[in-house]
Amino acid sequence: MTYPFIDSAYVSTSIERPDAERVRAARAFPAATLLEANGKRGALPSQIKPVNPKFRVCGPAVTVHSPPGDNLWLHRALVLAQPGDVLVVYTSDFHEAGYWGEVMSTAARRRNIAGLVIDGCVRDADLLTEIGFPVFARGLCIRGTSKDFAARGWINHPLRIGEVPVRPGDLVVGDADGVVVVAQEALGATLDAAREREAQEANIIERISNGEATLDIYGWNR
């Protein structure tokens, strides 16, 4: 199947993804741990949460800049994303539309895409949970979207969500606490710091269980 939109300056079909072993390693850590290990950088707006709190996502970003109130470019991204990718979507600050629902989750799961992170709303909440495809969104909106073939969008170009730049191939990790984006060049150091942090916290939990106070452990008793 050929797709004419691919032959466009607005679409990149070749992106550099992080090493698969590093992606697997990142799955072992909560999003909050990776955020702290990344120097407290990369937290997407706190309004973006999983539709179901059990949803978790981890994978390289395929970025989508969508026109407001239109989800045609999301459908286009579905045929370009590779297994394990995470669609990261900026909706031009227009949140009063349900850009994603049952049909698109079914298509994404069929292609083994890892998940969706959208700075906008979705719909079909119960069905999204039933399908089990991880969706992270600002909320739910019953309103539908248009399909304007003349509207300009971009796929696999850098974008910004809140204060966070997101580039194609950056690692995206989300859980019930929220979503963090780790730049590819920072991933190795972030994973090392996450391992160290987990070991330190395990030691702190043990000390608390043995009766020590957090003020004493952290040196705040003054």
Q: Is 101 annotated as a binding residue?
A: yes
- Is position 104 annotated in a ligand binding site? yes
**pLDDT value for 7:** 83
Query: What residues does each domain of the chain span?
Result: 31-183
- pLDDT score of 6: 87
Position 73 scores a pLDDT of 98
Q: How confident is the model at residue 3 (pLDDT cuts 50, 70, 90)?
A: confident
124 labeled binding residue: yes
- pLDDT score for 8: 85
Residues contacting residue 76 through CB under 8 Å, at least 6 positions apart: 3, 5, 11, 153, 155
Question: For domain 31-183, which architecture applies?
Answer: 3-Layer(bba) Sandwich (3.50)
Average pLDDT value for the chain: 96
Share of the chain above pLDDT 70, in %: 100
Q: Distance (Å, rounded) from C-alpha 190 to C-alpha 183? A: 10
At 209, is the pLDDT very low, low, confident or very high (cuts 50, 70, 90)? very high
**Confidence class for position 2, pLDDT limits 50, 70, 90:** confident
Q: What is the pLDDT of residues 41-72, one digit of tens each?
A: 999 999 999 999 999 999 999 999 999 999 99
Chain segment 150-207, per-residue pLDDT in tens: 999 999 999 999 999 999 999 999 999 999 999 999 999 999 999 999 999 999 999 9
Q: What percent of the chain has pLDDT over 90?
A: 95
Question: Does the annotation flag 135 for ligand binding?
Answer: no
Residue 102 marked as a ligand binder: yes
Rounded to two decimals, the pTM is 0.95
